[in-house]
Chains A and B, each alone.
Chain A
Amino acid sequence: MIETILSNLALIIGTTLMYSTPLIYTSLGGVLSENSGVINIGLEGMMVIGAFAGAAIGYFVGDPWIAFIGAGIAGGLFGLLHAFACVTFGANQVVSGIAVNFLGAGIALFLSRMFFEGATMTKSIALDNKMPRPLNGVFPDGSLLKIIFDNQYATVYLAFFMVLIIWFFMYKTKYGLRLRSVGEHPTAADTLGISVMRIRYFAVIMSGVFAGFGGAAMSLAIVSNFRPTLISGHGFIALAAMIFGKWKPQGALLACLLFGGAQGLAVFLGQFDFEISTQLISMLPYVITIVVLIGFVGKSAAPSADGIPYEKEHKY
């Protein structure tokens, strides 16, 4: 009895890690962008394009890491676009984000039809060309650790490592200090000779890169191809996780684990024959997102200048 409970628990932990991973990358992207003062609801679109680029490059080139980096570059290009609109032209950041979302989905579909004989779905990557599973076969058969780690892709471990890196960058390096200062009070940063433009460009592009990674973590590891419904709101969930995590990388990590856990649970419950329809169960992560956002999020945590375009010669 105890044994089945433990192994079920291990199974849920395993799926939680798996499903949290794309969210973690993407919400780290959100953390970077919004701490520099640029709202990024375009994460979804950046994730979609990353997922497509990962799957397509993975299929044609065959190397998962090249595909992963390619996904980051694709996301980064969309980040550049968002930065161009919001930082250079001071456009409304929400509107630009929405445009990025439409564009991401549209371009991914267009390119898919172009390169895959009109199909909206990319062809599957050969199993050997997917992300490696570093701990595959390391643990003895039947052990709980095996249940948790045996099938985890390298992207999972990398995600946790990235949280550490971003945390260190933001709180322990001078560029992190500058990035946060620009998100809190750009005029003050400007008076100290810090280039608000440059920092925001960097942050928004990196935000796209991470969302691209997030998408690829989906299409190169969890599944092995791209389809238009693959991302379906994960970018928004990552955004919510970043908010729930109070705009901090460590907070976002915990929130992603929570949302990923909800998804893992939904998958786990899905295997039983319940009276409840599976559609309702699959709603779980989304419902939890909404409940959490309504119930637990204070307003004060956002960087003060988040969402406000910065103009020079604006009255000081």
Chain B
Amino acid sequence: MGYENVTQSLTKVIEMKKITKKFGDFVANDSVNLDVFKGKVHALLGENGAGKSTLMNILYGLYSPTSGEILINGKKVDITNPNIAIEHGIGMVHQHFMLIKPFTVAQNIILGQEPTSKMSVLNMKKALKDVKEISERYGLYVDPNAKIEDISVGMQQRVEILKALYRGAEILILDEPTAVLTPQEIVELIQIIKNLTKEGKSIILISHKLKEITAAADFCLIIRRGKHIDTVVVSETNEEGLASKMVGREVSFSVAKDDKESGDEIFSIKDLIVKDNRDIIAVDKLNLSVKKGEILGLAGIDGNGQTELLEAITGLRKVESGEIKINGENITNNTPFQVISKKISHIPEDRQKRGLVMDFDISENTILENYYKYPFAKRGVLQYDNIRIYAKELIDKFDVRPKEESKMARTLSGGNQQKVIIAREVTNNPDLLIAAQPTRGLDVGAIEFVHKALIEQRDNDKAVFLISFELDEIMNVSDRIAVIYEGKIVGIVDAKDAEVEKLGLMMAGGGNE
């Protein structure tokens, strides 16, 4: 049928025409067109750094475009700030949530459009009633009196959606809404999207997960390096078709991996007990070992002690009892500096908080662990020439974009931030590489790249410990799979014999063999 024919009879609510956005010399959006139709879901697909968030920030009035125009319901509108976007019925759920942590759910929802009685005095009664009303109307249940810092990420996202609906949004932008959700929460979100379109709302959905796009979207705009590539009807294509359009080449979803004999045990954990922030036992007598030349995957649902386990290994959290050993050496309760010097590298879960110094440039970020060593420093003075040469090498080898070592980490897209971390950690040539959620929020091309990097480590006879909430990833990449539940390893299986159903059951605490 083709895009033109399918969309002929639909009502256009938004037209973005030839939008160009430059940051300095850098062109983040290059003459991009986007049409959104009433009651339809329009997906945005593109690699990390392709310019998706930028385009949406323009539509929401947070960035002003360098050139191009926006029409809402056929009329040209200058969206110079979010207020104007809100007035025209545009709501946005940002990639990084925009919630005030110490405020309650209701306070977050009404902020900026507060119901008041006389003299600007807040009318919280009315606020609670309004919140309850919309949350029931769209099936988005939340506890309006709970504080944001106390509720789960999935709940926080509902609050974000409610915020937009409270402001009367007819067009809802969802920027990578599923990157931080559990599989169950993703299913719920897709249902919510369907409910919303039934009510006549239009949705713009940004996602790297092709499965979600094919499940939820009607149309899909594909951007590559800021350029408009194509708009397709989702029902007329498939995941492979979308992926190759986005990257510009064929992408393989399952990683090629040769069989390999694993070597001696190099890393082991015995009877480890670690407490969480609330002083409750999070890792409970855990036993685990990783061999040379293998990738051990740790599967499990978020919140079963993975974070605490990682922090204990890397020296960021106190071990109550038990033993952690690498190369036969005890590293229990070592400092992070000591852990690094024992040839353990770590790709952390939260790349912005623990992986990078956001206000350092790429080159400085590449030497965070080795800054004091020759050739990066001589007699305590940093040798920036050498650092830059080193950073350039890594940028080339790991395809970080843009290829400028003086670019601030903050200004990189999520995927490229991750590449910088991986480049640094892998180049340290560790005996054990710990990778926590290494592909969260990455595009398919970048995921392929990360997986290749992990497998290359293994092929070089190094040990890799992969922690992920994505079962597909664990099953694709690992040699052995351990399942964690309530701080304990409840089973270890060979990846070749692993079955999704069985692993799923173990992750939920059942089917312990």
Interface residues of A (CB under 8 A from B): 172-175, 177-178, 180-181, 184-185, 187-194, 304, 312-316
Closest to A303 in B: B102
Residues in A neighbouring B112, C-beta threshold 8 A: 178, 189, 192-194
* A174→B83 contact, CB < 8 A: no
B121 contacts the other chain (CB 8 A):
yes
Stretch binding the partner chain, chosen from B92-100, B236-244, B431-439 = B92-100
Q: Which of B55-63, B305-313, B487-495 is the contact stretch?
A: B55-63
Q: Are A177 and B114 in contact (CB under 8 A)?
A: yes
Q: Does B122 contact A (CB under 8 A)?
A: yes
Partner among B82, B103, B113, B114 whose Cβ is within 8 Å of the Cβ of A184: B103
Beta-carbon nearest neighbor of B81 in chain A: A193
Contacts known (A184-B100, A184-B103, A315-B410); A194 close to B111, Cβ less than 8 A: yes
One of B86, B96, B98, B102 near A193 (C-beta < 8 A): B86
Question: Are B120 and A188 within 8 A (Cβ)?
Answer: no
Shortest Cβ distance from residue A221 to the other chain B in the assembled complex, whole angstroms = 30
Tell me the smallest distance from the CB of B159 to a CB of chain A, in Å.
Answer: 11
> At the interface, is chain A mostly helix, strand, loop or mixed?
helix
Q: Judging by beta carbons under 8 Å apart, are B111 and A178 in contact?
A: yes
Known contacts A191-B62, A194-B112: A172-B122 contact under CB 8 Å: yes
Q: Is the CB of B101 within 8 A of A304?
A: yes
Q: What are the residues of chain B within 8 A of A194 when measuring CB–CB?
A: 111-112
Q: Is the CB of B86 within 8 A of A185?
A: no
Bound-state CA distance A172–B119 (Å) is 11
Complex Cα spacing A175 to B121, Å: 9
Assembly CA distance A231 to B96 (angstroms): 45
Interface: B53 (CB within 8 A): yes
Of all chain B residues, the one with the shortest Cβ separation from A174 is: B114
Distance, CA A314 to CA B57, complexed state (A): 12
- Find residues 78-133 in chain B having any chain A CB closer than 8 Å to their own CB: 81-83, 86, 92, 94-96, 98-103, 107, 111-114, 116, 119-122
Q: Any chain A CB within 8 A of the CB of B411?
A: yes
Given the known inter-chain contacts A181-B103, A185-B100, please indicate yes or no for A316 contacting B119, CB distance below 8 A. no
Q: Please measure, in the bound complex, the distance between the C-alpha atom of A173 and the C-alpha atom of B53, giving whole angstroms.
A: 34
Cα distance A180–B92 in the bound complex, in angstroms: 22
A233 to chain B, nearest CB (A): 31
Contact A185 B62 (CB under 8 A): no
A194 to chain B, nearest CB (A): 5
Which B residue's beta carbon lies closest to that of A168?
A: B121
Q: Which of B469-486 contact A (CB under 8 A)?
A: none
Compute how far the CA of A190 lies from the CA of B99 in the bound complex, rounded to whole angstroms: 11
Chain A neighbourhood of B411, CB < 8 A: 315
Query: Which partner residue on chain A sits nearest B60 by CB separation?
Result: A191
A312: chain B residues at CB < 8 Å are 62
Which residues from chain A contact B107 at a C-beta distance below 8 Å? 177
Interface residues on B, range: 20 to 34
In the A-B complex, the 5 residue pairs with the closest CB atoms: A193-B83, A192-B112, A188-B98, A174-B114, A184-B100
Chain B residue nearest in CB terms to A305: B100
Contact partner of B92 (CB less than 8 A), chosen from A172, A175, A181, A191, is A191
Report Cα–Cα, A112/B120, bound state, in Å.
42
- CB contacts under 8 Å to A, within B388-413, are 410-411
Residues of chain A within 8 A (CB-CB) of B122 are: 172-174, 177
Q: What is the CA–CA distance of A316 and B55 in the complex, to the nearest angstrom?
A: 12
User: What sequence of 0s and 1s flags, for each residue 409-421 of chain B, a beta carbon within 8 Å of any chain A beta carbon?
Assistant: 0110000000000
Residues from chain A with a CB closer than 8 A to the CB of B96 are: 316
Residues of B within 8 A of A187 (CB): 98
Q: Contacts A173-B119, A175-B120, A181-B100; is A316 near B114 (CB within 8 Å)? A: no
- Bound-complex Cα distance A189 to B98 (A): 8
Q: Known contacts A174-B120, A185-B100, A316-B53: does B111 contact A192 (CB below 8 Å)?
A: yes
In angstroms, Cα B93 to Cα A188, docked, is 11
B107 → chain A, closest Cβ, in Å?
Answer: 6
**How far does the Cβ of A237 sit from chain B's closest Cβ, in whole Å?**
27
| CA of A191 to CA of B107, assembled, Å | 15
Cα distance A290–B475 when bound, in Å? 57
Instruction: Check A184–B111 contact: CB distance below 8 A.
Output: no
Return 29 A-B CB contacts under 8 Å, by A number.
A172-B121, A172-B122, A173-B116, A173-B121, A174-B114, A174-B122, A175-B120, A177-B107, A177-B111, A178-B112, A180-B100, A181-B100, A181-B103, A181-B111, A184-B102, A185-B98, A188-B100, A190-B82, A191-B82, A191-B94, A192-B112, A192-B113, A192-B163, A193-B81, A193-B82, A193-B83, A194-B112, A313-B62, A316-B95
Closest beta carbon of chain B to A72's beta carbon, Å: 22
Are A174 and B116 in touch, CB under 8 angstroms? Answer: yes
Docked Cα-Cα span, A194 to B82, in Å, equals 9
Alpha-carbon separation in the docked complex, A193 to B62 (Å)? 10
| Chain B residue, CB-CB nearest to A173 | B120
Residues of A within 8 A of B102 (CB): 184
Q: Which residues of B contact A175 (CB under 8 A)?
A: 120
Closest to B23 in A: A313
Chain A positions within 8 Å of B86 at CB level: 192-193
A-facing mask of B135-175, CB < 8 A → 1, else 0? 00000000000000000000000000001000000000000
Q: In whole angstroms, what is the CA distance A192 to B116 when docked? A: 17
**Contacting residues of chain B (29-72) with chain A, CB-CB under 8 angstroms:** 53, 57, 60, 62-63
Q: How far is the CB of A168 from chain B (nearest CB, A)?
A: 8
> Chain A's nearest CB lies how many Å from the CB of B9?
34
In whole angstroms, what is the CA distance A194 to B110 when docked?
12
Residues in chain A near residue B121, CB distance under 8 A:
172-174
- Among B99, B100, B116, chain A packs the most CB atoms within 10 A around the CB of B100
B95: nearest chain-A partner, CB-CB: A316
**B114 CB contacts on chain A under 8 angstroms:** 174, 177
A193 and B110 CA atoms in complex are apart in Å by 12
Shortest distance between the CB of A246 and any CB in chain B (Å): 12
Distance between Cα atoms of A177 and B107 in the complex (Å): 8
Residues in chain A near residue B98, CB distance under 8 A: 185, 187-188, 191-192
User: Which chain A residue lies CB-closest to B98?
Assistant: A188
